[in-house]
Structure 1
Amino acid sequence: MKQFLLFVGLLLSLAAAAQKPGTVKGSLLDGTATSGRHPLDEATVTVMESKDSSLVSFALTSNSGYFEIKGLAPGDYYLLVTYQGFATLKKSFSVTAEKPVADLGDVSMTTAYKTLDNVVVTDVAPIKVKGDTVEYNAGSFKTKPNANVEDLLKKLPGVQVERDGTVKAQGENVQKVYVDGKEFFGNDPKLATKNLSADMVESVQVYDDMSDQAKFSKIDDGSRAKALNIKLKKDKKNGLFGRAMAAYGTNDRYDATLSLNRFKGNTQVSVIGAANNVNKQGFSFNDVIGAMGGFGGMMRGGGEGGGGMMGGMGGGQMMMGSRTGGGSGSAVPGMSSNSGGIARSLSGGVNYRDVWSPKLDVTSSLFYSNTRTNTMRQVRNQSLFNLAGYDSTAITNSRNNGVRDNENLRFNMRLEWRIDSMNSLLYTPAITLQHSDSYSEDTALTTAISGTKPEALALSSRNINESVRDGHSINQNLLWRHRFGRAGRTLTVGWTNTLNNSDGSGSVYAPTTYYKGSGSGFSIVQDQQAQQKTRAHNNLLSASYTEPIGRNKILEFNYAYTHNYSESDRKTMLYNPSTKQHDIVSRPQTNYFENTYTAHRAGANFRLQQRKYNFQVGMGAQVGELATHSIKAMGNKDTSVTLNYVNLFPTANFQYSFSRSKNLRVTYRGRTNQPSIAQLQDAPDFSNPLQVTTGNPGLGQEFVNTFNANFNTFQFLTFKYYAINLNVTQTSNKIVNAVDSLKLNPNDSIPRQLLRPENVQGAYTASLFFAYGAPIKALKGLNVTANTMGLYNRDVSLLYKVRSFNHTLVLTQTLGLNYNYKEKLDLGISGSLAYNKVTYGSQPSLNNDYLTQTYSADITWTLPKNFLIATDFDYFVNTGRAEGFNQKIPMWNASVGKQFLKGKQAEIRFSVNDLLNQNQSITRNTGINYVEDVQTNVLRRFFTVSLTYNLNRMAGKNMFSMPRQLERGTRNMRIGM
């Protein structure tokens, strides 16, 4: 806590030291008005340095036309004022120590007139407001040479970029990133922000994106998401642009990236590629076979999290604690986005955009990724279990070594056919192929404390787990949109089709020794192989009709038909000592299961839209039928179960715009969650002999109520933003894994657990988030950000037939400061304090609270003769964990580089990762009946030398003939690679 208070004091001291006395103010008026001089509100007023026209500060005028810009140092400036429909105004002024306030009084603007073609206006406003869109002029926010879009976004007021590449705008997560209004490699934001160069960007637009249906009908359907649109410079839309980087270092560490763009009019082709073994992953992984589920624990081998044996469906380590409900965790990340393990990543893809005709647009992409993660974990787990009729505490210390390969190939396309002014067709297919191969080996020792008895060794185990799995997913969406002659009257018909297939095989070899109180014991060996096939085919047909019933009132009627079919075929074979083959059928674990869900849903919504506010209320009713069919090898039992559901789906949305930059949005909705095929399939899984899992064919569906209130204000005059978000989620009939004791026969003395999904009541979560950000205009380039978050979760479980509640409280405070000085110095300082408190209703011995403190600094300094020095430092402090896991971890990276060639097109850099060789990854996880601390291997100190080359060939030139200087640079790049 002392470190955090000192850090806050440092930030406040820096902010106080940044004060400057100069001010310019005035009132902007319409000089062309004949009936009085009217004020011009929300005009852009920019202060520029007279000597070099560099940007100093900017603001928007108030409703009365008033503007005031503070924090100016003594000097000569000029005011640049822009307003739509008026000529750009330029007015000089000075600030001195004797006269720090420049009062310009009334400033008049005149109507804009067309000028001759040879007149060029070079002064451009740094920011514009167009309705609900904020547009930043990229040229007004300088970045260091060879910067990417992510570096540019860090400079924009009201925009934040997290360490993992997540972008926030005005306090909200950016969910979509477009390039010139089109998708870039599907909908993966990181592929755009990390692979496009900042010097290609003309402007960045921030807005709330709507659904395709809302864009067509011009009616807000409430499905908004914060989005960025990256507008490219006109001269960058015809040419060849790109960047290549190659690095190699000690311990055979390597990192190479390639980004190449060939634009010619409407035809745009982008190629990207990357290869590294330093835990960099600039893309989002699409795990289709993990989403299909059904294969149980053997699919959870190495690299998927410590204590996989404790997972809901088995596999991994021999521990008694069970992950029977939502828990919480806090990780101490290392240098990269991967907080544990060492990963090798290969990826590459191509993105294609074109206009095939005036009515047909196409966007498509193909992306391939291959990752291999080697993981070594040390885990301490404390849990409760029922032994011989009374509760016991088990403490398990284990080690896990694992390797996991994941290979993905995904294809996305978007075809939009504008048939005529009233009709359009939108077709968006997506295909994903995935291969997964994993191996893990776990060893564990468990000691038990029962009542007043002393701690004693309970069991020792070893688990070798191997699995191979292949799967594919095909998704198709077809949307026909028709707009009638009357505004607001629309008809939309859609079809969504999904096909998921998965084939897996795996093996488990798990010898376990169980010790009696006397110290003697006996051993059991689980040696089995299993194969499983899962198939799923889902269809959704939907229709929506809107009818205006007044100037601003609309009724919507909708209908949806759902038909989902899935099947799972699992076969498990045990080892036969006589034949030395796995040829004995494990009848309890061999099962064929199929599931069909059919539903009809109809609903109506009423919307009222006004200039300042709009609201929507609606109700949907759904009749559904869930039919399951199971064929068990045990007793050749054939079972069918049919369940019928009737659900109501209330919705309500309210949005009030106090102004263009101040908005309140309140939403409520109810929805159902159907049980998965893995939760329904009643075939017990004995791959963990101490923790048997099975499904429940009679499982009911969940119903989730969600309430959200969000308030955002963005003050264009000061560029301060505030965001407050309240979210409450309550789940009825929540599906949890009930934990109970299991005896295979009356003489079975092994303390087995049985995990079986059940429906329980009483779970809810509430969270409150506050974000603040502002530039400190007293010092150009200085920005401060602060985030406060509180979360309370009450989870519910069934432990040995007793309903139990866990309570989790999480409080987090972060504070950050970013400073940029004339493209020479980039400085970022941040600090975070996270407090976690977990209380167990029926198991107070597991109660725990702990703190995580994080302090970071990031500096880039440009020296004369194009030398660059960069360093970042992170300091992690953990308290409240188990012995050996309370660590203070300093993480220091540094580099020095030199830019060369014409236009600084090339750069050579020497870097060191983890200079102090102290990097670690420590995580605490909590669940219904366990607390565990996990330490995972990470990258430690290594050195690299890298070479970066930027290609920028304008249209009209021979793109494939290079001057000798560039040829030498290319040869050097090949040598470096």
Structure 2
Amino acid sequence: MKKNILLLCVALLCISTAVAQNYKITGTVVDSLGVPLQMANVIAYQQDKNLGAFGITNQEGKYKLEGLKQDSTYTIKVSFLGLKQIEEKVEKLQGDLVKNFVMMAGADELDAINLTYQMPVSIKGDTIVYDADSFTNGTEDKLGDVLKKLPGVEVNDDGDITVEGQVVEKVQVEGKDFFEGDSRLATKNIPADAVSKVQVLKNYNNQSQLKGLGNDQDRYVINIKLKEGKKKFWFGEATVGAGYGGQAERYLIQPKAFYYSEDFSVNILTDFNNLGTPAFTGRDYFRFIGFNRRDTRQNNASINVNAASTFNAFATNRALSIDSKFLAGNASWKVSDKLDMSAFAILSSTDTRTKVLNSNTFIDSGLVEETDDRALERNQVGLFKLGANYNPNSDLSINYDGRINISDQSQVTDFTSSRSGVVEDIDQVNSQKPISYNQSLNAYYTAGEKHIFALESQFLNQEEDPFYNAVRNIRDQQDPEPFNGALGLESADPYNINQERFVNTNKIDAKLDYFYVLNKTSNINFTLGSTVSQQNFSSDIFQITDTEERNELQDPSLRNDNVQYNFTDLFAAVHYKFITGKFTFTPGVTAHSFRTLDFQNDIENVIESQRIVPDLEVRYDIKSSQSLRLSYDQTVTFTDIDNYAEGIIFTNYNSLRSGNNQLEGSLNDRISLRYNNFNMFNYTTIFGNITYTKQRDAIQSQTQLDGINQISAPINFGLPNESLNGSLSYGKEIRKIQFGVSASGSWSSRNNIINNVEQESININQTYGATARSNFQKGVNFDLGYRLNFNDSDNGGFENNSTTNVYSAGIDWQLGKRWLLRGSYDLNDFSSDNGQENTFEFLDASIRYQKPSSRWQYSLIATNLLNAEVNVNNNFGQIATSTTQTFVLPRYVYFQMRFDL
């Protein structure tokens, strides 16, 4: 309670100090006829050319300049394309003012002030342009720090960027994709001092022929414009660090280099460190191994053939140690006016040590299992891509991408399970070396003003070879055979069980779209396409006996010998888009013909089915930055060969799974309502959405539980799975302080069969939050946050509820022109009905020194100053409910030097 009161006092002090003695100027801007001018630029700057405030007029021509200082003199400048600029001086401001402006016809000439000062935000059609220097104060390190200070822009911990509530699709630099547009690599690597302007491109489509034909209103791309001196020259930085923590030496080596010109660009990133900050995570890996084809409407039926992976994404407060090595480069080359080429190569190696304690309560029996899980995970990845865009004329565009993804993944686990007086030691090994080759070929052709064609195709070849080994040994007794003899193992102590698997996948997706443009406000889209997938699967389980001999298990139910599985989807669709007033309607329907064929145990099994699935989108554009969107779609989802192969799969030390070749696709209904409102006039953002989904014939598990051991098989379950999710957020900037409040909630109902009894699992999650973040040019800046989470579950009558309070505070304190003090503090209070409680505190701090205009920067950095050890949370599953204690990185202290190239 004392800590909470202290945090509240600090927050109130910071906010009250920040808002004291500030005034505002408001008014309207009209033309000579008295017509309000929307999106006129209004700025107030002081005599030293420092920005006081800026505004953009709304539909009524109103503007607002806030946060102006008492006794200060400001020059007010009003500009609008095609009209004469207005300048007016306000001497020694003493209170709030109202000033109206009338703009006369005439060219908006550039004067000396225009040449030395940029409008902080300008809006030109579908593009928002932010002048970075107008929002930064020199304390920013990377692009992510810059973006966080722009109105309407948010960056989360994973590097995902949202603008006006919409996720940014990709990041470009000088019009060229930065590592395939990956937002995380961009936000965490592009130097902040290289950024001149940030362009937000709305209603984006990669293909100019398709712009406006589909529903691209919510597609956003960010393009970074570099400062003068960063073009046609190499720039970058080299960072090194050394320190101590966790009873070991710590190091950091991060050279980065960039080159941009009109015809050629290169980005080189390196990162070698054992500070617990992985340069390339599992989430990054999955971003890069697939294609994000969004230029035309996507197929509403799918089959999941993604490679299995041991690659986990551990954050710095979720692991004991993380040792990361990373080398990446990408290049873009304009070969001619008709041909552009691009390539990237990424090499990454990450070693992660973890320790996790679990208390698992099995829902059917109430059995409690306490586990101690210590793991070492190694992930080595190589990703390579070569692409080309060929545009012989304005009517034809051909794109090709070829990618190779190679990885070597392994996980070694020292595991202990304790339950009902039994203690079992389990050594586990997971490993695989998957490789995939992925190609895409797309062509877009404009045959005339009313006729546009788009051909999109992808080919995937993928090989997987996962291996799993578990050695189970119950202490102080002869081990009973696991799974009550279901595997038919020879008597042993301990039991050493192994499984080898091999999966080969070939998959082709191809579709042809024809757009018939009726007029400027309507078009019809016809689509023909197919998805064809062919998979081969083999697996066997074997035992290493006490005499070190290999005991092949010959029971046919324990093997999958060259199982073949083919999936075919032939589809045709029609969509009609038309605009009337502020409404945009896009109804559509797709007809599918599905065929699955599996061949196993010398028996061929064929299942054919047809579906007609509708979709609809209705959009109401209330204003240019305010919209309401209602969407409904029905999709069909199929599973891959893993669930069709009928032989036993050994998935975990206590889990066996068999397939089911009678599975059919599940039918999913989703309806959502989304509201966006970004008001540049009063710096207010409001976003809300609510989504309901219903999954019929869902592929669920039929499970037999015996103690901790389980044997399961997939089935199409008769009862539906349902979920309801909603969120609402409100943000407002007042006098350089961004305030925000948010609320989100979810309800879900899932059904399974456990021990021949149908069981429903219901989970309700609620989260409420509030934030305040300042953006002053000098002095102290702060970042405060609070989040309250309630998580309630009812699994077949077994209830478990938890509450989490999270407090956060951060500070950036400029001490003169050379020193910068930073600190961040997080307090996490967790409690649950089962008596688990935990208070987790994380404190980081750093002090930085850099002379003005010097290329050298020196920092002393400390992480986890309070030396927190463990974080606790609850996980709610349909088999068991778990309370998890995750051990975290120890205290690190290190010295860092950076040289700007």
Q: TM-score, normalised by structure 1?
A: 0.84
Q: Secondary structure at the match of 1:718?
A: coil
Q: Distance in 1 between matches of 2:289 and 2:226?
A: 37
Structure 2 CA distance for partners of 1:414 and 1:687, relative to 1, 3 Å: closer
Of 658, 679, 684, the residue aligned with 1:720 is 684
Q: Secondary structure at the match of 1:628?
A: strand
Deviations along 1:924-958, one digit per CA (max 9) or x if unpaired, are 1111131111112211112101111111xxxxxxx
Q: Secondary structure at the match of 2:557?
A: helix
1:174-193 equivalent positions in 2, closer than 5 A? 174-193=168-187
- Determine if the alignment matches structure 1 residue 737 to structure 2 residue 701: yes
Q: Confirm or deny: 8 A CA contact 1:509 1:525 kept in the other structure.
A: yes
Structure 2 CA distance for partners of 1:414 and 1:706, relative to 1, 3 Å: farther
Structure 2 CA distance for partners of 1:140 and 1:108, relative to 1, 3 Å: same
Q: Distance in 1 between matches of 2:3 and 2:663?
A: 50
> What is the Cα deviation at residue 435 of structure 1?
0.9
Of 822, 836, 843, the residue aligned with 1:870 is 822
> What is the Cα deviation at residue 666 of structure 1?
1.6
1:297-308 equivalent positions in 2, closer than 5 A? none
Q: Confirm or deny: 8 A CA contact 1:289 1:470 kept in the other structure.
A: no
Structure 2 CA distance for partners of 1:152 and 1:578, relative to 1, 3 Å: closer
Q: Confirm or deny: 8 A CA contact 2:202 2:217 kept in the other structure.
A: no
> What is the Cα deviation at residue 577 of structure 1?
4.6
Q: Confirm or deny: 8 A CA contact 2:258 2:268 kept in the other structure.
A: yes
Counterpart in 2 of 1:921? 871
Deviations along 1:617-675, one digit per CA (max 9) or x if unpaired, are 000010010001113xxxxxx23221112112211111111111111122111111111
Counterpart in 2 of 1:745? none
Of 737, 745, 753, the residue aligned with 1:782 is 737
Counterpart in 1 of 2:284? 285
- Residue 453 of structure 2 aligns with an amino acid whose one-letter code is L
Q: Secondary structure at the match of 1:219?
A: coil
1:148-187 equivalent positions in 2, closer than 5 A? 148-187=142-181
Q: Distance in 1 between matches of 2:866 and 2:369?
A: 32
Counterpart in 2 of 1:664? 628
Counterpart in 2 of 1:623? 593
Structure 2 CA distance for partners of 1:110 and 1:775, relative to 1, 3 Å: same
- Determine if the alignment matches structure 1 residue 27 to structure 2 residue 6: no
Deviations along 1:45-85, one digit per CA (max 9) or x if unpaired, are 111122x2111221122334333334422211111222122
Structure 2 CA distance for partners of 1:833 and 1:553, relative to 1, 3 Å: same
Q: Confirm or deny: 8 A CA contact 2:705 2:754 kept in the other structure.
A: no
> What is the Cα deviation at residue 604 of structure 1?
0.6
Q: Secondary structure at the match of 1:193?
A: helix
- Determine if the alignment matches structure 1 residue 412 to structure 2 residue 385: yes
Q: Distance in 2 between matches of 1:289 and 1:157?
A: 33
Counterpart in 2 of 1:318? none
1:503-902 equivalent positions in 2, closer than 5 A? 503-512=465-474, 525-577=494-546, 580-582=549-551, 585=554, 587-592=556-561, 593-610=563-580, 612-631=582-601, 638-686=602-650, 690-740=654-704, 752-760=709-717, 761-777=719-735, 781-840=736-795, 842=796, 844=797, 846-864=798-816, 866-880=818-832, 882-883=834-835, 885-900=836-851
Structure 2 CA distance for partners of 1:84 and 1:720, relative to 1, 3 Å: same
Aligned pairs, number:
867
Q: Distance in 1 between matches of 2:5 and 2:702?
A: 44
Structure 2 CA distance for partners of 1:824 and 1:238, relative to 1, 3 Å: farther
Deviations along 1:704-725, one digit per CA (max 9) or x if unpaired, are 1111211111111111110011
Deviations along 1:334-364, one digit per CA (max 9) or x if unpaired, are xx55523421111111110121111112222
- Residue 434 of structure 1 aligns with an amino acid whose one-letter code is S
- Residue 950 of structure 1 aligns with an amino acid whose one-letter code is D
Structure 2, unmatched stretches of 5+, are 291-303, 479-483, 485-490
Q: Secondary structure at the match of 1:649?
A: strand
Q: Secondary structure at the match of 1:915?
A: coil
Structure 2 CA distance for partners of 1:120 and 1:13, relative to 1, 3 Å: closer
Q: Distance in 2 between matches of 1:159 and 1:217?
A: 24
Q: Secondary structure at the match of 2:433?
A: strand
- Residue 616 of structure 1 aligns with an amino acid whose one-letter code is T
Counterpart in 1 of 2:481? none
Structure 2 CA distance for partners of 1:4 and 1:800, relative to 1, 3 Å: farther
1:315-464 equivalent positions in 2, closer than 5 A? 336-337=315-316, 339-385=318-364, 392-447=365-420, 457=421, 459-464=422-427
- Residue 861 of structure 1 aligns with an amino acid whose one-letter code is W
Counterpart in 1 of 2:78? 81
Q: Confirm or deny: 8 A CA contact 1:131 1:660 kept in the other structure.
A: no
Q: Confirm or deny: 8 A CA contact 1:15 1:776 kept in the other structure.
A: no
> What is the Cα deviation at residue 727 of structure 1?
1.3
640-649 or 534-543, which moves further after superposition?
640-649
Counterpart in 1 of 2:294? none
Q: Confirm or deny: 8 A CA contact 2:521 2:578 kept in the other structure.
A: yes
Counterpart in 2 of 1:481? 444
Q: Distance in 2 between matches of 1:772 and 1:294?
A: 39
Q: Confirm or deny: 8 A CA contact 1:292 1:534 kept in the other structure.
A: no
Structure 1, unmatched stretches of 5+, are 306-332, 386-391, 448-456, 632-637, 743-749, 952-977
Q: Confirm or deny: 8 A CA contact 2:318 2:888 kept in the other structure.
A: yes
Deviations along 1:689-717, one digit per CA (max 9) or x if unpaired, are 75322111112211111112111111111
> What is the Cα deviation at residue 196 of structure 1?
0.9
Of 224, 249, 256, the residue aligned with 2:253 is 256
> What is the CA RMSD across the aligned residues, in angstroms?
2.9
Of 133, 136, 139, the residue aligned with 2:130 is 136
- Residue 27 of structure 1 aligns with an amino acid whose one-letter code is T
Q: Distance in 2 between matches of 1:791 and 1:676?
A: 29
Structure 2 CA distance for partners of 1:294 and 1:799, relative to 1, 3 Å: farther
Q: Confirm or deny: 8 A CA contact 1:132 1:660 kept in the other structure.
A: no
Counterpart in 2 of 1:328? none
Q: Confirm or deny: 8 A CA contact 1:534 1:569 kept in the other structure.
A: yes
- Determine if the alignment matches structure 1 residue 54 to structure 2 residue 50: yes
434-443 or 859-868, which moves further after superposition?
859-868
Q: Confirm or deny: 8 A CA contact 2:52 2:67 kept in the other structure.
A: no
Q: Confirm or deny: 8 A CA contact 2:34 2:102 kept in the other structure.
A: no
Q: Confirm or deny: 8 A CA contact 1:145 1:904 kept in the other structure.
A: no
- Determine if the alignment matches structure 1 residue 500 to structure 2 residue 452: no
Q: Confirm or deny: 8 A CA contact 1:782 1:820 kept in the other structure.
A: yes
- Residue 852 of structure 1 aligns with an amino acid whose one-letter code is T
- Determine if the alignment matches structure 1 residue 108 to structure 2 residue 108: no
> What is the Cα deviation at residue 236 of structure 1?
2.0
Structure 2 CA distance for partners of 1:621 and 1:628, relative to 1, 3 Å: same
Deviations along 1:135-176, one digit per CA (max 9) or x if unpaired, are 211121123246211111111111122233332222333342
Q: Confirm or deny: 8 A CA contact 1:540 1:561 kept in the other structure.
A: yes
Q: Secondary structure at the match of 2:284?
A: coil
Identity of aligned residues (%): 20
- Residue 64 of structure 2 aligns with an amino acid whose one-letter code is E
Q: Distance in 2 between matches of 1:63 and 1:540?
A: 46
Q: Confirm or deny: 8 A CA contact 1:565 1:596 kept in the other structure.
A: yes
Higher-RCO chain (CA-CA 8 Å, sequence separation at least 6): 1
72-81 or 174-183, which moves further after superposition?
174-183
Q: Secondary structure at the match of 2:378?
A: strand
Structure 2 CA distance for partners of 1:235 and 1:218, relative to 1, 3 Å: farther
> What is the Cα deviation at residue 550 of structure 1?
4.2
